[in-house]
Chain A
Amino acid sequence: MTTKKKQPGETAIERNICSALDQTLTLNDTTLTRLADIRQQALAELPAQDCNRPRNLWIISASGVAVCAVLAIVLLLPPPHRNIDQRVTELEWLINNEDLTMMEAEFEFYEWAVSEMDSSG
């Protein structure tokens, strides 16, 4: 068996409250005047917004271009792993250079040793 749920406004208490509140909706002159002022102040916001619309479009376009430019710069810049490769190469070059120096020193030693052997022989 299903029981139908009561909808808002169906019970006596809801009807009484709503009826009582409705009876106070006819506003007095002071309140109506004040509300008219409020409406006018609110509606005064309208033209300013419409005039701003084309300017807003320009701002949006300019922002879009700026974002694109930043993206392009970021994408065109060499990626970070390239720098790392470069550093590794430099390090290898330094190590190689050190090896060369050592080899040069040894070469001088061997040259001296040969000359000594020649002079003694």
Chain B
Amino acid sequence: MRWMTVPTTESWAQACTGEMTQHTAQIRLALNEFFLQVQGKALRQAQIATGDTDEAFDIVQHAMMKLTSRYSHQQDVWPPLFQRILQNTIRDWFRRQKMRRLLFWSSPQVAETLFVESEHSSNEPIDIAANTPERKMISRQQLSAIESALRELPPRQQQVFLLRAWWGHNTEETAFAMRCSTGSVKTHYSRALHKLKTLLEPSE
């Protein structure tokens, strides 16, 4: 008498295929829905941070792929996890840039490579927004001034400001996304706001 049948690889695959396909399809749909909700802001934030549209696409792609490959089973916490991955990726980008700048000063060869790259990429990021009636309410000059002011902020202040003011996250959520204390979030936010006021508000 056999108490237990040992499943073969094929039978295991057949048994789980139906269930898995349904389960995977549900997750796929939910993830796609989630990505559709966050992709615009994520791309704009990355674009403001890097000043380069291609780099921004790469950052968003990395964040989406990492969330899918590692945390697809944690649907309840997708928003904070995605934010954390996104902010980490942006921070990594800043670190790489810093490293490249250091190499720039130490190695003439790297400096030459960077010069060639900078010739190909324009300073003005490619416009990713559609020309909607709402868009016409704000002039291109105003938008450019706002983006320039945001870019002048130190990376951490820029991230905190966008997470708090634009994404609408509270202090705790922002602290989780940025892997810092709530006290740091408050300090960064206060400093960012002060600097933005100095840069954007006309002096009396």
Interface residues of A (CB under 8 A from B): 8-9, 11, 13-14, 16-31, 34-35, 38-39, 41-43, 45-47, 49-51, 54
Contacts and interface: CB of A to CB of B under 8 A. Distances in A.
Contacts of B39: 35, 38-39
B165 A9 contact: yes
A19 B135 CA distance: 10
A73 B66 CA distance: 40
Contacts of B40: 25, 27
A42 B146 contact: no
A81 to B, nearest CB: 46
A17 B153 CA distance: 14
B44 A42 contact: no
Interface of B: 12, 16, 20, 23-24, 27-28, 31-32, 35-36, 39-41, 43-44, 57, 60-61, 64-65, 67-69, 72, 127-132, 134-135, 137-138, 142-143, 146, 150, 164-166, 168, 189, 193, 196-197, 200-201
A43 B134 CA distance: 32
A24 B128 CA distance: 8
Given A31-B129, A49-B72, 11 more contacts: A13-B193, A24-B135, A24-B143, A25-B129, A28-B128, A30-B128, A42-B35, A42-B64, A46-B24, A50-B23, A51-B20
A-B pairs, top 6 by smallest CB distance, nearest first, are: A42-B64, A24-B129, A31-B128, A45-B69, A8-B164, A28-B130
Contacts of A51: 20
Nearest to B45: A21
A25 B72 contact: no
A50 B27 CA distance: 11
In this complex, the member of A21, A25, A27 whose beta carbon has the largest number of chain B beta carbons within 10 angstroms is A21
A49 B65 CA distance: 12
B35 to A, nearest CB: 5
A50 to B, nearest CB: 5
Nearest to B136: A23
